[in-house]
Amino acid sequence: MVNIWYKSGSFQHGFLIFPITIYLVWLKREVIRTIPLNV
């Protein structure tokens, strides 16, 4: 998948998905902690 992101101009935004996701999870970490786990 990374190879496709690297070679194709149409998919180079794929490199931004992971860091942005981590940042958004970090911003909402307190809310995420309150979500009960259904184990």
Q: Which pLDDT score, from 0 to 100, does residue 14 have?
A: 84
Binning pLDDT at 50, 70 and 90, where does residue 2 land?
confident
Sign of CA dihedral 36, 37, 38, 39: negative
Phi and psi at residue 6, to the nearest 5°: -70, -40
Q: Which pLDDT score, from 0 to 100, does residue 3 have?
A: 83
Q: How far apart are CA 30 and CA 39, in angstroms?
A: 20
* pLDDT per position as a tens digit, 3-39: 887 788 888 888 889 999 999 999 999 999 999 998 7
Q: Which pLDDT score, from 0 to 100, does residue 7 have?
A: 83
Q: 32: which 2 tokens?
A: 């995420």
Q: What is the CA radius of gyration of the chain?
A: 15
